[in-house]
Amino acid sequence: MPVGTQATVKAVPQDVLEDLGVEILLGNTYHLYLRPGVEQIRRLGGLHTFMSWPRAILTDSGGFQVFSLSDLRKVTEDGVTFRSHLDGATHFLSPESATEAQIGLGSDIIMAFDECTEYPAEPQRTRASMELTLRWAERCKRYFEEHQNEVPWNSPRHLAVSRQEVSSVEFQVSSNSEANQTLASQQATRNSKLETRNCTQALFGIVQGGMDRALRRESAERTIEIGFDGYAIGGLSVGEPRALTREIVESTLEHLPKDKPRYLMGVGTPEEIVEYAKLGIDMMDCVLPTRAARHGLLFTSEGKVSIKQARYAADQGPLDPNCSCRVCQRYSRAYLRHLYASNEVLAQVLNTVHNLSYYLDTMRRVRHSI
């Protein structure tokens, strides 16, 4: 899942994401909650309509960002009080309000509000944190069951608006040129896609338990007892050695049902996503392909390329001779290096398109081999 923190995968328009074959992307509740605000997005028909993205969206609960980005946070049984990294204003997120926010955004998969245990942590602290996450998981599920019908795409008002848009589009078709007809029919298809969505969200639980295999097992078993549509492994890639991440993933997977999606949060390099898929992970998200691209770090079939290097200044070859993406088909390494060195906006666009394409190709190969 490419990461679209602020209702955008940085530097790439939605139609290009569709062409690349992105089927699902991730939105960050913390950022959208602070700006433009959940109520604003809800009034505009939910996140899909707002960002014109008819395919699937997963939102995180906001918990991880609260712990990693905000200042002066205070965790109590009730939830977390924190200061916005934007303006310093005080906010409060709880299992209930994080679930409410994700229902308001109307994403397809929403995540339980958890506490991401820091690394390293004392055994006592890890257990207490895991227990808190389990109590919060129950509260998320209860709130979700009581309020899941409040998604914006379920509201009669939104459906009425969508129908109005479709009929006004039909009117344009009858009175305008051929080019407009194509645009209008695309818009109508998009609206009808949004309208005929299967009107339920899925709620995923998150397994915590730090780097302790026994606690991971207990967390998995008790999260399954609460019952979710899918299960995520959280609290990894928080600074621990890679070998330890792998060990914890492998041992946690043994305790998660094979017939439900299993989602490893915040991972990883192309090599890692292949490795974790092999272990049985179904879903992963990571800022690496997009963030690295903006820093000129490109993943290719021949290894990593740092496009800023002078050695590429006269290199007429494609970035990756084995990549069929629109960037590798069209531009040379020399041109990409020039764009990056000149700090041109297009550098970020092209680099991101290639990296996403490389990641998606990697996952396509994984699926094919399965």
Candidates 108, 114, 285, 320; catalytic one = 285
The least distance separating Zn ion from the CB of residue 357, rounded to whole angstroms, comes to 5
Q: Should residue 360 be labelled a site residue for Zn ion when binding is judged by CB under 5 A?
A: no
Nearer to Zn ion, 98 or 325 (CB): 325
Q: Should residue 190 be labelled a site residue for Zn ion when binding is judged by CB under 5 A?
A: no
Q: Should residue 184 be labelled a site residue for Zn ion when binding is judged by CB under 5 A?
A: no
Q: Can 60 be counted among the known catalytic residues?
A: yes
Tell me if 161 sits within 8 A of 152, measured CB to CB. no
Rounded distance between C-alpha atoms, residue 318 and residue 333, angstroms: 6
Q: Should residue 356 be labelled a site residue for Zn ion when binding is judged by CB under 5 A?
A: no
Tell me if 72 sits within 8 A of 82, measured CB to CB. yes
Tell me if 156 sits within 8 A of 276, measured CB to CB. no
Candidates 60, 114, 212, 320; catalytic one = 60
Q: Can 285 be counted among the known catalytic residues?
A: yes
Q: Which residues of 299-316 are buried (b: 16+ CB within 10 A; e: fewer)?
A: bbeeeebebeeeebeebe
The least distance separating Zn ion from the CB of residue 319, rounded to whole angstroms, comes to 6
Tell me if 130 sits within 8 A of 218, measured CB to CB. yes
Stretch that binds Zn ion, among 20-28, 88-96, 264-272, 349-357 (CB under 5 A): 349-357
Rounded distance between C-alpha atoms, residue 161 and residue 3, angstroms: 29
- The single residue among 354, 356, 359, 360 that binds Zn ion, judged by CB under 5 A, is 354
Nearer to Zn ion, 248 or 327 (CB): 327
Nearer to Zn ion, 20 or 184 (CB): 20
Q: Should residue 151 be labelled a site residue for Zn ion when binding is judged by CB under 5 A?
A: no
Stretch that binds Zn ion, among 227-235, 258-266, 277-285, 325-333 (CB under 5 A): 325-333
- The single residue among 328, 336, 347, 350 that binds Zn ion, judged by CB under 5 A, is 328
# residues contacting Zn ion (CB under 5 A): 5
- Residue 124 neighbours by CB distance under 10 Å: 8
- Residue 88 neighbours by CB distance under 10 Å: 10
Q: Report which secondary-structure segment, H or E, holds 35.
A: none
Map residues 265-304 to x or -, x wherever contact with Zn ion holds by CB under 5 A.
----------------------------------------
Q: Should residue 323 be labelled a site residue for Zn ion when binding is judged by CB under 5 A?
A: yes
Rounded distance between C-alpha atoms, residue 96 and residue 260, angstroms: 24
Q: Should residue 350 be labelled a site residue for Zn ion when binding is judged by CB under 5 A?
A: no
Q: Should residue 333 be labelled a site residue for Zn ion when binding is judged by CB under 5 A?
A: no
Tell me if 206 sits within 8 A of 125, measured CB to CB. no
Of 370, 369, 364, 349, the residue nearest 270 (C-alpha): 364
Summarize as ranges the residues that interact with Zn ion (CB under 5 A).
323, 325, 327-328, 354
Active-site residues: which are they? 60, 285
